[in-house]
Amino acid sequence: MVPRTVTGWLGLGFIGVIVFWLGANLVNDPSEFFNVALIGLTNGAVYALVALGYTLVYGILQLINFAHGDVFALSGLVASTVIVGWVGLGADSSTGEVVLGVGLALVIAVVFAATLNTGIEFVAYRRLRNAPRLAPLITAVGVSFILQDVGLVGWGVEFRTTEKLIPGRDAFTIGGVHFPWDKLGVLWLTIPALTALTWLVRSTKQGKAMRATSQDMDAAAMMGINVNRTISFTFALAGGLAGAGGLLYFLHFTSMRYDTGFQLGLIAFTAAVLGGIGNLPGAVLGALMIGLIEQFNEGLELYSPGSDWTRSMIFGILIATLVFRPEGLLGERTPEGG
Amino acid sequence: MANVSDRVRRAWVPIAVITFGLLYPTLLPYLDDIPLIGTLLPGVGTVVIMFVFTMMAVGLNVVVGYAGLLDLGYVAFYAAGAYTAAWLASVQFEQVTFHFGSSGISDKLPGIHMSIFLVLVIAGSFTALVGIIIGLPTLRLRGDYLAIVTLGFGEIVPQFVRNADSIKGFDLTHGSFGISPIDSPGFGAGLGAALGLPESYQQSTNRAELYFYTALALLLFTVFVSVRLRDSRLGRAWVAIREDETAAAAMGVPLMRTKTWAYAIGAFFGGVAGAYYASFKSGAFPSDFYFNLSIFILCMVILGGMGSVWGAIVGGLFLSYLDQEGLAKIGTEVGIQDVPKYNFGIYGLIIVIVMLFRPTGLIPERRHKRELEEGVRDTPFYDVQLEGSDTDRDSQND
């Protein structure tokens, strides 16, 4: 794998710098390195749920669903109403109450987000399916702003907050690396969701229909696949993941606002692009990497630019990925990436 | 063959609009007396801001409308222009004292102080350079990928500006405080007095009018360049790329060079607009350069009709009016106080409604209209002659 072009060498040099930076920090303080890495992985797991929604929709419609981040934020706000407003969970709630309350919030958030996302597709994107490619993207940007204002009208400008429902004390410790309950809790919710999704897309009839539709919409229709229903299903699935992501984000980061989804949506989208947009394992890989990079940048001691530059770094990665390797880490080369 | 009367017929609308624009500050006191409409009319100061935004809309129209390159980070160019003005016409770099055509300030004032009119040109050129630098690696990407990369730049630039107050101890942008004050435009004591032009806008009694006419002149210049470019060889190359990149390349249009030109020219106007606005507001602040602004300007282009200069002007004036005064005034008229708070939801709604029901915008560009109405997806290269239509060969034989 010797690069043939100047950009190839630049990309290799870029990776070399990152490897050196991580290596130096690992040698400097191994247990701190792994603690930071665990936080990064947990955040990355939350991002993955949102990133998968981008990649699912892109895979089937070649549309960057800009409004996805805001579906995530709205469902997080709905979850906040359920958890704090209706059930009234707090730090002193018993384990049973927390499990039941969070379970109820999860169901409501997932159903809400799935319905919302399907509705958006039906109202805003379906008519534009044969329009030039930029038309639905621009519409998605518009929908994103509308959803933000819905959040603003419904929940106000203040952050909705919750107390830590899953305790932050250590479940176990290995060689100075802490594994707290709340971090593990996120992973326990994320991993089954991802496994189920993989099974659904790989092994069910509906998943087969999705893959067929994404390859060639017209040919799929000719084979008797109901394309509209498959696309609606994909949007519902993406929305459901965003709903779960919204709830997890709210529990994990404990605060949420109408515009949370915009930032997180961009991060998740970057993750999807980094992994190779349209590629499901790629989105997860990309999200975990973004989570790690973010935490490494903010948490490591040696040569870290610090939290002021986190966003610049993430978008720098986005640009670098698109310029050097537009197909992403696991994706296939497309004419658009040229 | 355009004969004289044809030209007159085509010219009368622009002439009427320009005349109205020129007379607006004079007419405003009388127009204010008209019931209902009078109270909604924007003040002269607001119109300056409207013109600046419209300039950006016309500039973005070159990128998005002509060349079909969706730019979601136009605000980066605006920021670059504003900060160029801030660097070249304020006390920011107090280590040096350099004056060149500065007006209305003491010659002893430290920092770089250049004539704002010169700064406008420099800011435009610098921003165009930034556009080229951003464009060269990214313009190979197509469509939505490009949109996302520009969005990335649009997010990085404000953060850079906010954080670059101590690069190895060197204060480049003064962080989140921004750079203020920035010199005002003027013609200086010598030249200004000789030609009867104002020495310094800031110290003139009719400063609002001065800013107004300068903004109008800049806007007219932008529109003129934009219209002339549209009909040029370069403009046709842009449209060709917008319609079908592969076909354009096959016909010998140099893709990279043509796209980079679109980017550079769009950036130029963004930079000039940013620099002028910074001088008008006498400050450049990082909080002005947020992502929503890129979308706001894009919304102007879309509402007016992508590719249509008149559309960009109407869309720009209308939306920036709503943003500056309109929403608040309409809100008061209707009796709802919070209308401006939801401005971006309203713009989002406008975008969605326009894209769904009238994708060509209010004032459609002819060629673009056809593209959107007939669709471009999966257009087959039919070899079969359709009934009643001529092939190229037939018309050549005629």
Chain A interface disruption, residue of B351, B365, B367, B370, most A CBs within 10 A: B351
Nearest to A134 among B70, B138, B156 (CB): B70
Inter-chain touch B72–A127, beta carbons under 8 Å: no
| B172 vs A: CB within 8 A | no
Whose CA is closest to A136, among A149, A147, A127?
A127
Helix (H) or strand (E) holding A173: strand A170-174
| Chain B residues close to A63, C-beta within 8 Å | 144
| Pick from B20-34, B140-154, B221-235, B363-377: least confident | B363-377
CA–CA dist B194, B183 (Å, integer):
21
Q: State how far residue A175 is from chain B, nearest Cα, in angstroms.
A: 37
| Chain B residues close to A139, C-beta within 8 Å | 351-352, 355-356
The answer for residues whose C-beta is within 8 angstroms of residue B354's C-beta and 6 or more apart is B302, B303, B361
How does pLDDT run across B326-354, given as a tens digit for each residue? 777 777 777 777 777 788 888 888 888 88
| A323 vs B: CB within 8 A | yes
Q: What percent helix, strand, coil does chain A show, rounded to 5? A: 75, 5, 20
Domain edges within chain B = 1-41, 44-397
The CA dihedral of A119, A120, A124, A128, to the nearest 10 degrees, is -90
Read off the pTM. 0.83
How does pLDDT run across B40-81, given as a tens digit for each residue? 778 888 889 999 999 999 999 999 989 888 888 899 999 999
CA–CA dist A196, A201 (Å, integer):
9
What single letter denotes the amino acid at residue A67? A
Nearest to B359 among A124, A133, A135 (CB): A135
Q: How many CB pairs under 8 A join A and B?
A: 141
Question: What's the pLDDT at A335?
Answer: 45
Chain B interface disruption, residue of A65, A312, A314, A333, most B CBs within 10 A: A312
Q: Which residue of B has its CA nearest to A324?
A: B137
How does pLDDT run across B178-214, given as a tens digit for each residue? 787 887 777 766 666 666 677 777 777 777 888 888 8
Whose CA is closest to B281, among B21, B22, B86?
B86
Chain A interface disruption, residue of B144, B246, B376, most A CBs within 10 A: B144
How does pLDDT run across B93-144, given as a tens digit for each residue? 777 777 776 776 777 777 778 888 888 999 999 999 999 988 887 887 767 7
Q: State how far residue B149 is from chain A, nearest Cα, in angstroms.
A: 6
Question: What's the pLDDT at A129?
Answer: 83
| B344 vs A: CB within 8 A | yes
Whose CA is closest to B319, among B69, B18, B60?
B60
| B160 vs A: CB within 8 A | yes
Task: Provide the 10 A C-beta neighbour count for residue B314.
Answer: 20
Inter-chain touch A318–B148, beta carbons under 8 Å: yes
What's the rounded mean pLDDT across residues B201-229? 86
Question: What's the pLDDT at B2?
Answer: 52
Inter-chain touch B145–A326, beta carbons under 8 Å: yes
| Chain A residues close to B141, C-beta within 8 Å | 322-323, 326, 336-338
Question: What's the pLDDT at A232?
Answer: 93
Q: Is residue B394 scored above 50 in pLDDT?
A: no
Place of tokens 């809309």: B57
- Segments of chain A with pLDDT less than 50: 335-338
Q: Is residue B383 scored above 50 in pLDDT?
A: no
**Per CATH, domain B44-397 is 3.30.450:** no
Question: What's the pLDDT at B385?
Answer: 39
CA–CA dist B129, B263 (Å, integer):
10
B254 vs B180 pLDDT, higher one? B254
Phi/psi at A264 (nearest 5 deg)? -65, -35
Q: Is residue B384 scored above 50 in pLDDT?
A: no
What's the rounded mean pLDDT across residues B1-11? 68
Q: State how far residue A135 is from chain B, nearest Cα, in angstroms.
A: 7
| Chain B residues close to A338, C-beta within 8 Å | 140-142
Inter-chain touch B375–A135, beta carbons under 8 Å: no
CA–CA dist A228, B45 (Å, integer):
51
Question: What's the pLDDT at A1?
Answer: 52
What single letter denotes the amino acid at residue B226? S
Q: Which residue of A has its CA nearest to B162?
A: A308
Question: What's the pLDDT at B361?
Answer: 80
What's the rounded mean pLDDT across residues B233-254? 89
State the DSSP string of B148-173.
HHHHHHHHHHHHHHHHTT-BTTB-SS
Inter-chain touch A128–B355, beta carbons under 8 Å: yes
Inter-chain touch A273–B148, beta carbons under 8 Å: yes
- Which DSSP category does B91 fall into? S
Inter-chain touch B348–A149, beta carbons under 8 Å: yes
- Which DSSP category does B287 fall into? G
Place of tokens 């290995």: A174
Whose CA is closest to A183, among A172, A194, A168, A193?
A168
CB B273 within 8 A of CB B81: yes
| Chain A residues close to B163, C-beta within 8 Å | 308-309, 312
CB A66 within 8 A of CB A140: yes
| B365 vs A: CB within 8 A | no
Inter-chain touch B348–A127, beta carbons under 8 Å: no
Question: What's the pLDDT at A229?
Answer: 92
Question: What's the pLDDT at B192?
Answer: 65
Mapping DSSP to helix (H, G, I), strand (E, B) and coil, where does residue B74 land? coil
Question: What's the pLDDT at B264?
Answer: 93
Question: What's the pLDDT at A318?
Answer: 81
